[in-house]
Amino acid sequence: MGIYRHHVLPWLIDRGMRNAAMTRYRRPIPAQATGRVLELGVGAGLNLPHYGPDVTRLFALEPAGSLLGKAAALAGILPFPVTLLGSGAEAIPLETGSIDTVVTTWTLCSVGNLEAGLAEVRRVLRPDGQLLFLEHGRSPDPGVARRQDRLEPAIHLVAGCHPNRSIDTAIEQAGFRFASIERQYLKGPRFIAYHFTGVAKPR
Ligand SMILES: C[S@@+](CC[C@H](N)C(=O)[O-])C[C@H]1O[C@@H](n2cnc3c(N)ncnc32)[C@H](O)[C@@H]1O
Range of the structural domain that residue 21 is part of? 2-202
Tell me how far CA of residue 30 lies from CA of 40, 143, 175, in angstroms: 12, 33, 22
* Ligand 1 nearest-atom number relative to CA 64: 25
pLDDT at 60: 97
Question: What's 28's domain CATH number?
Answer: 3.40.50.150
Q: How far is the CA of 32 from the centre of ligand 1 (A)?
A: 20
Q: Are 49 and 26 in contact (CB under 8 A)?
A: no
Specify the number of domains making up the chain: 1
| Ligand 1, CB cutoff 6 Å, lining residues | 13, 17, 26, 40-41, 43, 46-47, 62-64, 67, 88-90, 105-107, 110-112, 117
Q: Mark the ranges of the chain whose per-residue pLDDT is less than 50.
A: none
Q: CA-to-CA distance for 27 and 47, rounded, in angstroms?
A: 7
Q: How far is the CA of 190 from the centre of ligand 1 (A)?
A: 21
> For residue 180, with 0-12 CB atoms within 10 Å meaning exposed, 13-18 middle and 19 or more buried, which class applies?
exposed
Q: CA-to-CA distance for 91 and 97, rounded, in angstroms?
A: 15
> Which of 23, 37, 40 is CA-nearest to residue 110?
40
- The single-letter code of the amino acid at 30 is P
- Which of 24, 67, 94, 110 for a ligand 1 pocket mutation test, highest count of atoms within 8 Å of Cβ? 110
> Which of 138, 140, 144 is CA-nearest to residue 166?
138
